[in-house]
Structure 1
Amino acid sequence: MTGTVEEEWYAPNSWPAEVPGLRPAATAFSAACAGVAEDLLRVAALALDLADDFFVSRCTGDTWTVELDRFPARQEVGTVLPGQLRAGPHTDAGTLALVDREPGSGGLQVRALDGCWVDAPFVPGALTVNAGDLLARWTGDRWRSTPHRVLPPPVELPGEELLDLAFRAEADPGTVVERLPTPAAGPTRYEPVTAGRFRRSRSGSVSVG
């Protein structure tokens, strides 16, 4: 990444002219998710015996991103190589992520504490919520940032295509993230780091294998 933090985090959006309805739909989705994320961060703070605005006061600059992730069908992409995934194992870099998922056989998996990969439960009408790396660092891994991946399209369902909508809440670039001075925090001690520096270190960390 190059340029200032502001240039990297607040780059202009590029809206495709051939899909005129995308901008208003994405804007409405973003606003709704921002409200949900703020509510969840307030609940998280109270659960840790902190002031309810502890996290939201450190996430004031609209530091969030929205992704529309399309996972094409096997019949569209052709042969899937051994070990190739729709999205390789990764964690979410920010505070938390909200994912509106479609059900499917080639879907989301999370890595359990024993190292095994398990299918993430799908509940119709519900969002999947992932704790991010910043929240894990703040809480000393009491709330872990769980590695997850997206499986390739199955052979027996060559036409399966999935679309996920992901809202990723971050923190203000200058916010120092360090283990909370509270008994509610877990045992892991990370070195203090600013959210902006950590985000730079995580850029480009997701692969397909």
Structure 2
Amino acid sequence: MKEGVAISFHVPLVDISAYVRDGSSVERAAVAQQVDAACREVGFIQVVGHGIAASVIQGLTDAMDAFFALDLRAKKAYRTPPAVNRGYTPPKSESLSLSLGVEPANRMNDFFEAFNVGAGADDYPHVADLPQPDYADNVWPDIDGFEAHVSAYFAEAGRVARTMTRIFADALGLEPGFFDRVTDHSLDVMRMNYYALPPGTDVRLDGDLTGMGEHTDYGIVTVLWADQVRGLQVLGSDGSWNDVQPADGALLINLGDVTARWTNERWMSTLHRVKPPVIDGMIERRRSAAFFHDGNVDALITTLPTCVDPRHPDLYEPTTIGEHIAAKLAGSRAGRRNDAAVRESARVLASRSVGGAGEGIRTSSGTVRS
């Protein structure tokens, strides 16, 4: 990036109601065109008209607040082994940058706590012998209403994710059922994240305290609900980090590595991180719920022929979604560097050389509010 020159960063806002309510072909084509442009240029989208009722979101946040208010010992009772992507994750027990093969200054240093739920084998009775622990049972806290509220939102977020893949198929000129074939027993996981510290704890956000390290998401598409609190930062094409907050009533949508591989990086799996703000020596509370729609564990990822030509040679070797996800999780949850993520780790290191870990951050142009 040239000194004194900044590329404007903007996360497009798209109304997807034409797909939710089965609008006209003209209306749907306009939405698909907007989504294609956003996926090419940013890799993040804000969507409204998604159809999730405010009461469902309120139920989710109430459930999150009830769980994360428990003392640490009670929460740790719901912890699972690293290979099982369910249950509770305490602060500073993961490092998302390792999922890209990048060593953080301090291993397992991401300061957030989380609770994961996902689709289990019983959710796909039409498929026999689904592998474990990919399709593990959930661990539900003994909190009144928690399972019901979280399950209600999980179902709605899944609906939105599948709506987005319908839009993706149209935007990429694929047959309408393309994604149905690779998502009929999708690895779907929702991670509820919580950033805060007990009152009176003095902290500084520096190299030793990262809310969530630089990473790309792993699968097809992510549906993110988040508080309107600063913290999420998205990497711009000029190597700068940009603060992004959701508009009123909007969900943030971003692409994962699987989609970037399918499209030969025509569409972007954009690097992002979380740097929650510190106010008067305390981290401001920030909550989010990320629904990861990753695809079938046995689906083979091969580059779409329409995305390969003499100017754009195939960048990736074929792999299954299960193999790809396993390598990423081994990095973030088990602390084993993912040496297969060559292209992604290069982008992380390039961003660090441009602005450093905490510099070069723009807020005004990167923040989207309605």
Query: Normalising by structure 2, what TM-score?
Result: 0.52
Question: SS of the counterpart of 2:138?
Answer: coil
Q: Match for residue 249 of structure 2?
A: 125
Question: SS of the counterpart of 1:69?
Answer: strand
Cα distance, 1:80–1:139 mapped onto 2, change above 3 Å: same
Cα distance, 1:157–1:102 mapped onto 2, change above 3 Å: farther
Tell me, yes or no, if the aligned pair for 1:87 and 1:206 is still in contact at 8 Å: no
Which amino acid letter does the alignment assign opposite residue 116 of structure 1? S
Deviation by residue 1:116-167 (Cα, 9 ceiling, x = unmatched): 1001242111100010000000011111100100003323473621110110
Which amino acid letter does the alignment assign opposite residue 122 of structure 1? P
Cα distance, 1:80–1:204 mapped onto 2, change above 3 Å: farther
Q: Match for residue 132 of structure 2?
A: 7
Tell me, yes or no, if the aligned pair for 1:95 and 1:169 is still in contact at 8 Å: yes
Which amino acid letter does the alignment assign opposite residue 195 of structure 1? I
Tell me, yes or no, if the aligned pair for 1:48 and 1:184 is still in contact at 8 Å: no
Q: Match for residue 139 of structure 1?
A: 263
Question: SS of the counterpart of 1:182?
Answer: helix
Which amino acid letter does the alignment assign opposite residue 168 of structure 1? F
Question: SS of the counterpart of 1:123?
Answer: coil
1: CA distance, partners of 2:265 / 2:200? 40
Which amino acid letter does the alignment assign opposite residue 260 of structure 2? A
Question: SS of the counterpart of 2:133?
Answer: helix
Deviation by residue 1:6-57 (Cα, 9 ceiling, x = unmatched): 212111111111x221101111111111111111101101111111111122
Name the count of aligned residue pairs.
206
- Report percent identity of matched pairs: 30
Residue range with higher mean Cα deviation, 53-62 or 138-147: 53-62
Tell me, yes or no, if the aligned pair for 1:99 and 1:165 is still in contact at 8 Å: yes
1: CA distance, partners of 2:332 / 2:213? 6
2: CA distance, partners of 1:183 / 1:159? 43
Cα distance, 1:142–1:155 mapped onto 2, change above 3 Å: same
Deviation by residue 1:73-97 (Cα, 9 ceiling, x = unmatched): 4746542352221101001001010
Q: Whose Rg is larger? A: 2
2:323 corresponds to 1:197: yes
Cα distance, 1:41–1:76 mapped onto 2, change above 3 Å: farther
Unpaired segments of 5 or more residues in structure 1?
none
Which amino acid letter does the alignment assign opposite residue 79 of structure 1? V
2: CA distance, partners of 1:2 / 1:15? 18
Question: SS of the counterpart of 1:203?
Answer: helix
2: CA distance, partners of 1:102 / 1:121? 8
2:230 corresponds to 1:101: no
Unpaired segments of 5 or more residues in structure 2?
1-81, 85-128, 334-356, 358-370
Which amino acid letter does the alignment assign opposite residue 197 of structure 1? E
Relative to total residues, which structure has the larger helix share, 1 or 2? Answer: 2
Q: Match for residue 49 of structure 1?
A: 173
Q: CA RMSD in A?
A: 2.5
Tell me, yes or no, if the aligned pair for 2:264 and 2:308 is still in contact at 8 Å: no
Which amino acid letter does the alignment assign opposite residue 176 of structure 2? D
Residue range with higher mean Cα deviation, 65-74 or 90-99: 65-74
Residue range with higher mean Cα deviation, 158-167 or 170-179: 158-167
2:142 corresponds to 1:29: no
Q: Match for residue 273 of structure 2?
A: 149
Cα distance, 1:14–1:77 mapped onto 2, change above 3 Å: farther
Question: SS of the counterpart of 2:214?
Answer: strand
Cα distance, 1:204–1:71 mapped onto 2, change above 3 Å: farther
Query: Normalising by structure 1, what TM-score?
Result: 0.89
Q: CA deviation at 1:206?
A: 4.1
1: CA distance, partners of 2:226 / 2:205? 25
Q: Match for residue 115 of structure 1?
A: 239
Higher relative contact order (CA 8 A, sep 6+): 1
Tell me, yes or no, if the aligned pair for 1:45 and 1:51 is still in contact at 8 Å: yes
Q: Match for residue 77 of structure 2?
A: none
Which amino acid letter does the alignment assign opposite residue 221 of structure 2? L
Q: CA deviation at 1:184?
A: 8.2
Tell me, yes or no, if the aligned pair for 1:88 and 1:206 is still in contact at 8 Å: no
Q: Match for residue 80 of structure 1?
A: 204
